[in-house]
Amino acid sequence: MMSRLLMVLGTAVLLGELLAICLLRYESAAAIQPLTMGAAAVCGMALVQAAAAGPKGWRWWVTPFGLLHWVPFVAYAAAVTASSRLAPISAYPRTAEEAWWFAGLAIATGQIALHARARRFTLAMLIASLAVLMPGVLGPKSAGDLSGRFLRYSSLLHWGAYPEVGLLGLLGAAAAVAIALTARTWALRAAAAILAVLFGIVPFAVNSRGAEVALIAVAGWLVAVVVLRGRRRFVWVLVGVACVVGLGGGVAWRAQLARMAQANGDAQATAAVSSRTEDWRVAVRMIAAHPLLGVGAGRYPLEFARYSSAPPQNHAHNMLLHVGAESGLLALIPFVVIWGRLLWITLRAAGSGPWASRRDAFVLHAMIAAFFIRAMTDQFLSSVHSSFRTTLLMAMVLGLAEASVRPGPAPEGDGATQR
C-alpha cells in the first residue's frame, strides 16, 4: 500500500514538472523559479521512495550498475562547477547550476519511474505535451523574422527560436516512429504513423536543417534496428518504409521550396556550414589549450576571439565539443559515458524482456538518439534562450531511460521491468 501511494505521489510530482517544462508560458528567467521548485520536489520525492525501499533498495546504488547510474552525472556536474570556479566571469553564469539540475533530475526520475505504470504514463504525457506544443507553429511569427525561418512564435516564445522548435518536433517524431515500429495493433500503428508525420512536418516547416537531417538519420536507424534484430514481419517493415518515404517526401518538398529561392538558400546553407566548421575548429583549439577544465563554463563566446578572427558565436554548434571546450576532458568524459551508456542499454533492453518494457526502452532510445544526433550541429544545453527547459526535459528523458532498464520494486504483469 505504501509503495503504491509513493508511486502515485511521485508520478504526480514528475508529471507536474514535465508539464511546467513544456507548457509554462513565461520567458526563461521568469520560469526559473517554478521549474527549479518542481525539480527540487522531484528530487525530494525520489529520496522518499529510496528511503521507503529499505536497505535492499539502498544497496542497489553501490552495485556496478547502480554506480554507473549516478556517478557519471555527479562527475560531470562537479567538473563543470570546478571549471566555473576557475573562470568566474561567464556569458552564461547559470551553467554550473544547470549541470547539477541536469544530474539531479535525471537520477531522481530514474528512481521515481521504476514502476512500469509510472514510467509508461509519464512517457505518454511527455509525447502528448510535445504534441500540444506543435500547433503553435501555425501561430503568429515574431515581427523580427526577416529571413523567413520562423525565428519565434508568440505561443512558443518560451522555447526560443526555430532550432528549439525543430528539436521538439524531432523528439516527438522519433518517439512516434518507434511506437509505429513496435505496435501490435493496426489502430496503434496507424495512430503512431499519423503522429510521426505531423511531428515530422515541424522541422521542415520551420526550416531547421539540423533537425531535418537528424530526423531522416534516426528514422533510418530505427528501421534498421527492427529489421536486423530479426523482426521481419511484413507490416513492421512496411510501416518503417512508409515513415522513411514520408520523410523523403518532406525532403523533396523542402528542396522544391529551396529551388524557388536558390541563390539565397544556397548562400544561407554555405554560410551555415562554414560557420559551424570554424566553430568546431575553435572548440578543438580550446580543448588542446585547456585539456582538463577547459576555458571556463559559459566562457566559449568570451574566449572565441582568442582562437579565431571570425565573428564570435554563442556556442560551438556541437554538444560534445562545447562541453570539452568550456569544461575540459574532466567533464567531457563522464558526459560521453552518460549518453553512450544510455544509448547502449536502451538498445539492448529493446530486444529482451516483456514486450511493454521493450517498447518503452525502444521509444526512449529513439528520443535519446534523435537528440544526440541533432546535438552534433548545435548545443541546446546551457547556452541558448531555452537551455534550462531543454536541460530539464532531456534529464527527464534520460531518467526514464534509466528506469526502463533498472530492476523495478515488484513485478507488474507484462509491463514489469525485470533483469
The pTM of this model reads 0.89
Annotate 75-100 with b (16+ C-beta within 10 A) or e (fewer): bbbbbbbbbbebbeebbbebbbbbbb
Asked if residue 416 has pLDDT above 50, the reply is: no
The C-alpha atoms of residue 121 and residue 143 are separated, in whole angstroms, by 39
The C-alpha atoms of residue 366 and residue 221 are separated, in whole angstroms, by 9
Confidence of residue 55 (pLDDT cuts 50, 70, 90): confident
Residue 270, pLDDT score: 54
The C-alpha atoms of residue 419 and residue 261 are separated, in whole angstroms, by 55
Residue 150, pLDDT score: 60
- Cell (9 digits) for 290: 585547456
The C-alpha atoms of residue 257 and residue 234 are separated, in whole angstroms, by 34
Q: How many Cα atoms are found within 13 Å in the side-chain-facing hemisphere of 336? A: 13
* Chain position carrying cell 511569427: 141
Count of H-run helices and E-run strands, the chain: 15, 0
Residue 76, pLDDT score: 98
Confidence of residue 415 (pLDDT cuts 50, 70, 90): very low
CB 304, CB 282: distance < 8 Å? yes
Residues 268-290 have a mean pLDDT of: 83
Q: What is the pLDDT of residues 345-391, one digit of tens each?
A: 999 999 877 777 889 999 999 999 999 999 999 999 987 778 999 99
Residues 339-350 have a mean pLDDT of: 95
Q: Looking at 185-194, 241-250, 298-307, which range is the least confident one? A: 241-250
- Least Cα distance to 98 among 39, 27, 46 occurs for 39
Confidence of residue 255 (pLDDT cuts 50, 70, 90): low
Asked if residue 149 has pLDDT above 70, the reply is: no
Q: What is the pLDDT of residues 212-234, one digit of tens each?
A: 999 999 998 998 888 777 655 54
Residue 404, pLDDT score: 92
The C-alpha atoms of residue 224 and residue 237 are separated, in whole angstroms, by 9
Confidence of residue 257 (pLDDT cuts 50, 70, 90): low
Residue 304 burial (C-beta neighbours within 10 Å; 0-12, 13-18, 19+): buried
Asked if residue 244 has pLDDT above 80, the reply is: no
Residues 57-86 have a mean pLDDT of: 93
Average model confidence (pLDDT) for the chain? Answer: 86
Residue 227, pLDDT score: 76
Q: What is the pLDDT of residues 109-145, one digit of tens each?
A: 999 999 999 999 999 999 999 999 998 888 777 666 6
Longest dimension (CA), the chain: 67
Asked if residue 188 has pLDDT above 70, the reply is: yes
Domain coordinates in residue numbering, the chain: 2-405
Confidence of residue 247 (pLDDT cuts 50, 70, 90): low
Residues 295-321 have a mean pLDDT of: 93
DSSP annotation of 158: G
- What backbone phi and psi angles, to 5 degrees, belong to 141? -85, 170
Residues 265-273 have a mean pLDDT of: 55
Q: What is the pLDDT of residues 158-176, one digit of tens each?
A: 887 788 999 999 999 999 9
Confidence of residue 275 (pLDDT cuts 50, 70, 90): confident
